[in-house]
Structure 1
């Protein structure tokens, strides 16, 4: 039996206020092509299907199209759990009826110990799914003495262990932050000010553990306890990650092979660094100028409308940093003089770019005096 493990689709996601829906459609079409090419028998989606609990209608439509292609057209079973971004109750609307078409939505915590049994090519595999649940939910649902995420997750995993069939391979799906995992900027914290990680040790005896939540492909405690990673790069901290999905071959004796298959985005997420003139020259011949970019300018002087200039060659510059300006100031603390210097630098650059020549010393002194006067008046007001 060949399983495809994927997670963290985040359909409807905005990236610096830019919709990624068409980018998501692009990689989901690749996912379907991989399923066809690799003869996948079942699909596991380990949470965060949507980016928020009430997703935009276009995101719901895209999910419907993908599930139709998998469950109806290809007759493949699909098992999904809810993540911390999903609205669990909304996600499982119609879940009891959809089972008949092969779609299993495991977002009801009360049913976490009931497996989905896949019978394919003479192999039977039990799949248990733990939807995202905070400790308070677990405590109230089961009257369990748990105080943190690790205690709650351990309690659920141990209950599943008690239900395991002794002669069937068992797959566990969970949406959680496994201790020691490598996080990215795009993952929403599971809790504020508290411990959110869970131990991998209670999960080590399952044949395969399909995890969701962390966006970088990785494993903890063993290659079979694995995050497939997100479909796309959802922050610039993920620029060096290679996104993809995970293929898992499993027989009656257990897992025989695990393979990560890459996905190629419509637009890459990149970080560029350098002086603005060099970056603009580079952009004129850059074959991938439409990529989503964070630009770090190393120029040590003020620049008039740097974003506008860069977007003439790189239309999808989404964020701009100016470490060169900070270095030019050294380690000087921000004080009341700092705004004056910045304003004078900006005006000097504006003057030079509009008049074609630098300000004279006398003009610079006059402008500095005017800026000082305006700042004093502002302070007095």
Structure 2
């Protein structure tokens, strides 16, 4: 049997106050195409379906339409768990009734030992879900003395291991941070100071472990313990990550193969670095000029309204950095250099506004003004 492992959709997310809903819809259409092309028997979503606990109405509508297509029209069961961005209670509304339509929402920690079993030609596969949780919740629900994320997660996984059948394949779905994994800037920390890390060792005895929370596709500990990564890039730190979903194939012996299926973004997220003039010329011929950009300007002189100039050729510049204008501790300037720097900056500013250089009299007047201001401030 085959199933697709995905996670961290974050439907409804905004990036620098720009809605990504259209971009998310674009990659989710590709997911639907993979479900049909690969004739999968199930779709597994390992948490963070929404970006926040109370998602916007448009995000709910998008997910509702998508799940209706997969479960009712394509007849493919969906198994999902809540992540730390989701509200487990809200996401689990109507779970018992929806399971009859093929939508299995595993959001109740007290039912972690109750799997969703999918039959196939070689037998059965049991899917167990461990939704996002913290030590306090596990301690209160199970009256167990757990004080760390690792202890809580280990307790739940051991509970499942003690109850799973050795005669069929078993898949664990969990939303957690496996210690030592690669993280990105867009992931919300589960706790402060790294205490949210959990060990991979308790997961080893499962045939496959479908993880969610970290946005980079990767495995940890053993190759069958995998993060599928997010559907698309959610920070500029992810610019080199290859986004997609994981196609998993099982047979009567357990895991057979796993394969990355790429998802192509509507607009990529990348970093462009260089001088303003070079970037502006590049933007005029860049076939992907609609991408979401972080621009790092290396110019060392002042530029009037650089964002407006950049958006003439790159309309989706979302962040601007000017490291060339920064003065590090090793570049401390003397007061005389600082004066010349201010004068040079004003000269550049004047050229930007009026299209011509200062006259000799204007230059002298500005120099005298800067000197007078320094005297008033006690700099000179």
**Structure 1 residues 334 and 24, CA, compared in 2 at 3 Å: closer, same or farther?**
farther
Q: CA deviation at 1:122?
A: 4.4
**Structure 1 residues 246 and 333, CA, compared in 2 at 3 Å: closer, same or farther?**
same
* 1:147 corresponds to 2:147: yes
Q: CA deviation at 1:357?
A: 3.2
**Structure 1 residues 112 and 344, CA, compared in 2 at 3 Å: closer, same or farther?**
farther
**Which stretches in structure 2 are left out of the alignment for 5+ residues?**
none
Asked whether the equivalents of residues 113 and 164 of structure 2 are also in contact (C-alpha less than 8 Å), the reply is no
Question: What is the alpha-carbon distance in structure 1 between the residues aligned to residue 55 and residue 119 of structure 2?
Answer: 33
**Residue of structure 1 equivalent to 2:367:** 365
**Structure 1 residues 136 and 339, CA, compared in 2 at 3 Å: closer, same or farther?**
farther
**Structure 1 residues 136 and 346, CA, compared in 2 at 3 Å: closer, same or farther?**
farther
**Residue of structure 2 equivalent to 1:188:** 188
**Residue of structure 2 equivalent to 1:216:** 216
Question: What is the alpha-carbon distance in structure 1 between the residues aligned to residue 136 and residue 78 of structure 2?
Answer: 29
Q: CA offsets per residue over residues 48-98 of structure 1, 9 Å max, x none?
A: 000000000000000001101100001111000000000010000000100
Question: What is the alpha-carbon distance in structure 2 between the residues aligned to residue 94 and residue 370 of structure 1?
Answer: 73
Asked whether the equivalents of residues 303 and 352 of structure 2 are also in contact (C-alpha less than 8 Å), the reply is no
**Residue of structure 2 equivalent to 1:305:** 305
Question: What is the alpha-carbon distance in structure 2 between the residues aligned to residue 16 and residue 244 of structure 1?
Answer: 23
SS at match of 1:331: helix
SS at match of 1:32: helix
SS at match of 1:249: strand
The number of residues matched between the two structures is 376
Matches within 5 A, 1:248-327: 248-326=248-326
Q: Give the structure-1-normalised TM-score.
A: 0.94
Matches within 5 A, 1:72-151: 72-151=72-151
* 1:9 corresponds to 2:9: yes
Question: What is the alpha-carbon distance in structure 2 between the residues aligned to residue 112 and residue 88 of structure 1?
Answer: 14
Q: CA deviation at 1:353?
A: 1.5
**Residue of structure 2 equivalent to 1:25:** 25
Q: CA offsets per residue over residues 95-128 of structure 1, 9 Å max, x none?
A: 0100000000011111111111111234200100
Q: CA deviation at 1:169?
A: 0.5
Q: CA deviation at 1:9?
A: 0.1
Question: What is the alpha-carbon distance in structure 2 between the residues aligned to residue 218 and residue 94 of structure 1?
Answer: 33
SS at match of 1:170: strand
Q: CA deviation at 1:193?
A: 3.3
Asked whether the equivalents of residues 343 and 367 of structure 2 are also in contact (C-alpha less than 8 Å), the reply is no
**Structure 1 residues 338 and 86, CA, compared in 2 at 3 Å: closer, same or farther?**
farther
Asked whether the equivalents of residues 245 and 261 of structure 1 are also in contact (C-alpha less than 8 Å), the reply is yes
Q: CA offsets per residue over residues 130-173 of structure 1, 9 Å max, x none?
A: 00001111111111111111111111110010011010100000
**Structure 1 residues 318 and 371, CA, compared in 2 at 3 Å: closer, same or farther?**
farther
**Residue of structure 1 equivalent to 2:56:** 56
SS at match of 1:188: coil
Q: CA deviation at 1:368?
A: 1.5
SS at match of 1:224: strand
Q: CA offsets per residue over residues 246-303 of structure 1, 9 Å max, x none?
A: 0000012101110001000000111000000000000001100000000000001111
**Which stretches in structure 1 are left out of the alignment for 5+ residues?**
none
SS at match of 1:125: strand
Q: CA deviation at 1:337?
A: 11
**Structure 1 residues 347 and 123, CA, compared in 2 at 3 Å: closer, same or farther?**
farther
Asked whether the equivalents of residues 344 and 367 of structure 1 are also in contact (C-alpha less than 8 Å), the reply is no
Q: CA deviation at 1:355?
A: 2.8
Asked whether the equivalents of residues 340 and 371 of structure 1 are also in contact (C-alpha less than 8 Å), the reply is no
Question: What is the alpha-carbon distance in structure 2 between the residues aligned to residue 75 and residue 316 of structure 1?
Answer: 39
Asked whether the equivalents of residues 50 and 59 of structure 1 are also in contact (C-alpha less than 8 Å), the reply is yes
Runs of 4+ in 1 over 4 A off after TM superposition: 332-346
**Structure 1 residues 357 and 71, CA, compared in 2 at 3 Å: closer, same or farther?**
same
Q: Give the structure-2-normalised TM-score.
A: 0.94
Asked whether the equivalents of residues 47 and 82 of structure 2 are also in contact (C-alpha less than 8 Å), the reply is yes
Q: CA deviation at 1:367?
A: 3.9
**Residue of structure 2 equivalent to 1:331:** 330
